[in-house]
A and B are shown apart, each in its own frame.
Chain A
Amino acid sequence: MTERYRQYFEDMPCYLSVHDPSFRIIDGNQRFRRDFGERVGDFCYRVYKGRDEVCDNCPVAATFATGESHASEQTLINLRGEQMPVMVHTTPVRNDGGEVVAVMEMHTDIRVAKRLQDQLQRSQEKLSQLFEEVPCYISVQGPDRVILHANRKFRETFGPALGEHCYRVYKHRDEQCLYCPSQQAFKDGSVQRHEEVVTSAWGEKINVLCTTAPIRNAAGETEAVIEMSTDITEIRKLQSQLTSIGLLVGSISHGIKGLLTGLDGGIYMVNSGFEKNRPERVAQGWEMVQRNVERIRSMVLDILYYAKDRELEVADIDAGKLAAEITESFQKRATDQSVELSLALDGDVGLVPGDAKAVRAMLVNLIENSLDACRADGHKAAHRVRFAVRRSAPWMVFEVEDNGIGMDQETREKVFSLFFSSKGISGTGLGLFISNKIADKHGGGIEVESEPGQGSRFVVRLPLEARPSTHPEPLPASDAVATH
């Protein structure tokens, strides 16, 4: 080696060493000597790795064997015992006859690159973990709406979705949705945000707020779309409940205003009756006061029943006895209103399983409604309310029939809806809703027949054998119907 090349060899900013076929180091440059010592004559595996035998996959051995350069990544241990990740390149040293007599090995320190690589890998792992663990549904979709990636929550909720079309996974549809935010993001590269109702793998409906954004390649073209959906089902439920509470408050407020007007009226009649010395006016006013106080009591009970969705306490009820008691309790009111209230028992109707308090409240409500319907009707000379009970297996049937004001079709259809009231002044829209709920909870039901001007007939059927409700879940608040 000429002196000039020797100088190059010495000054190279990497470790250079030359190895003979027995893996002894026969030369080394300055940096090699600085970090590994004056080790010429020693075995390379001992110098570089502190080993007693040739390393597996030794690039020097490979070069001796093949006569070609080899490269690999290795970890060396320097004089100070530090581990140094290096990139190793070997090249054969040939004699004049072309025979490989030695191998030169060049080690490039890749600690910085290695550190960067490790950091990159850690970042990728973190990103991947974030993607996996974000508590919303994330998917990445290709231009054909096929799901390319999906995070854990998505897979857990919608199943192993990879390779499937998003509309199939999200909505169990066979074709693309009418409005597809993903398609829009592909089309114009915009971020789309909207609300959807999707279906889980087990059929549960989930309200989601869905945001889609384009994923662009280096050329700026949209090659995929990421879709993030947040579960807002609970929020929607709460909103629905709040709406329901709002309706209830509005309805109660309206009902109370009407009742106060009735009370004002009663008080006016009492006071003016005294002033004018007209006892019949005092008596009329006092009845108005009593009636409106009774209405307030009834409204409060309805509200309490609505607010507290209590479990039924089922026991055998003597249906005939209960009907007689209820009829008796209404006789005075009916007489005051000039309504003929009658009870028709079809023999000994016997027992029916049920919650006595709830069944009583339901029947009281129906009879109160019938009496109100008679009061509101000014077209007939005589009014009657007929309460009938009969046993008709498998049901105990209660019927409340009146010849009051009656209902048109629209009213009939809404009559059991929450907050629907046709009574304007005194109705909260709770009474028949609750009555229907009570019948339903017993596994029975209420039917209504009515014609405007003719009257109404409510038929309650309660099963003679206790049976569960046909609608075991509480009626969702969104079923509420507002009419005012």
Chain B
Amino acid sequence: MEARRVLIVDDDPDIVVYLTSFLEDNGYETRAAADGADALAAVAEFRPDAVLTDVLLPGRSGLDLLVTLRHDRRTADLPVVVMTGMDQILQDDGHSYLTNHADIRGPDAVIGKPIDPRDLLEVLERVCSPSPVPAS
């Protein structure tokens, strides 16, 4: 079976190294992006099965990235997992930050930092679509 592809979006190189190594050790193919613009380019090119994004990124936030992906019909169904240490987002899945975007589907999952590796694998297993994202 072909390896599932996960796009990791985080501006902290340590987190990127950690998640890349951990997910590759567990059979995923990964790509990393340090900010929202990089992430959008990588989505088009790498065509991930899921995006795993931090919230606080340079420039546009991880939630802005979510909104952009949801508004584009080509990526609207792409599973997005948000990882954060922000209590408010952990409590309401980011809804309080997405009040101006009631029309879009929120994140497919929110996981807290520090990341529980088993949770992360379970969540990715659950959200990864069996079919790849349609070509752009």
Contacts and interface: CB of A to CB of B under 8 A. Distances in A.
B54 interface: yes
B12 A264 contact: no
B95 to A, nearest CB: 16
Given A265-B15, A426-B12, A257 B58 contact: no
> Is the interface on chain A under 10, 10 to 19, 20 to 34, or 35 or more residues?
35 or more
B11 A265 contact: no
B34 A265 contact: no
Contacts of B114: 257, 260-261, 263-264
Nearest to A452: B59
Chain B interface size, as a band, is: 20 to 34
Contacts, number: 95
Contacts of A260: 113-114
Nearest to A295: B14
A375 to B, nearest CB: 5
B18 A253 contact: no
A421 B85 CA distance: 14
Contacts of A13: none
Given A281-B21, A484-B86, A266 B58 contact: no
A376 B85 contact: no
Could you tell me the dominant secondary structure of chain A's interface residues? helix
A352 B84 CA distance: 44
Nearest to A289: B14
- Name, among B10, B18, B115, B117, the residue most crowded by chain A CB atoms within 10 Å (CB to CB): B18
B58 A405 contact: yes
Contact of A425 (B54, B59, B112): B54
A350 B114 CA distance: 47
Interface in B88-121: 112-115, 117
B86 A262 contact: no
Contact of B18 (A256, A261, A426): A261
A269 B113 contact: no
A264 B56 contact: no
Given A257-B85, A257-B113, A257-B114, A375 B22 contact: no
Contact of A288 (B14, B19, B22, B112): B14
A31 interface: no
Interface in A391-419: 405, 408
A376 B34 contact: yes
A484 B61 CA distance: 11
Contact of B17 (A269, A424, A484): A269
A376 B17 contact: no
Nearest to A273: B21
Interface string A291-311: 110000000000000000000
B55 interface: yes
A300 B130 CA distance: 46
Interface in B1-48: 10-15, 17-19, 21-22, 25, 34, 38
Given A375-B13, A376-B12, A405-B58, A254 B86 contact: yes
B85 A258 contact: yes
Nearest to A292: B14
A263 B114 CA distance: 9
B18 A264 contact: yes
B57 interface: yes
A425 B25 contact: no
A407 B54 CA distance: 19
B64 to A, nearest CB: 13
B87 interface: yes
Given A257-B113, A260-B113, A378-B34, A250 B14 contact: no
Which 9 A-B residue pairs are closest in the complex by CB-CB distance?
Answer: A265-B18, A424-B56, A257-B85, A260-B114, A425-B12, A262-B14, A257-B113, A261-B114, A254-B85
Interface of B: 10-15, 17-19, 21-22, 25, 34, 38, 54-59, 85-87, 112-115, 117
Interface of A: 250, 253-258, 260-266, 268-269, 272, 281, 284, 288, 291-292, 375-378, 405, 408, 421-426, 452, 484
23 contacts: A250-B87, A254-B86, A256-B85, A258-B85, A260-B114, A261-B18, A263-B114, A265-B18, A266-B18, A269-B18, A281-B21, A284-B17, A291-B14, A375-B13, A378-B34, A408-B59, A421-B56, A422-B56, A422-B58, A424-B10, A424-B54, A484-B55, A484-B86
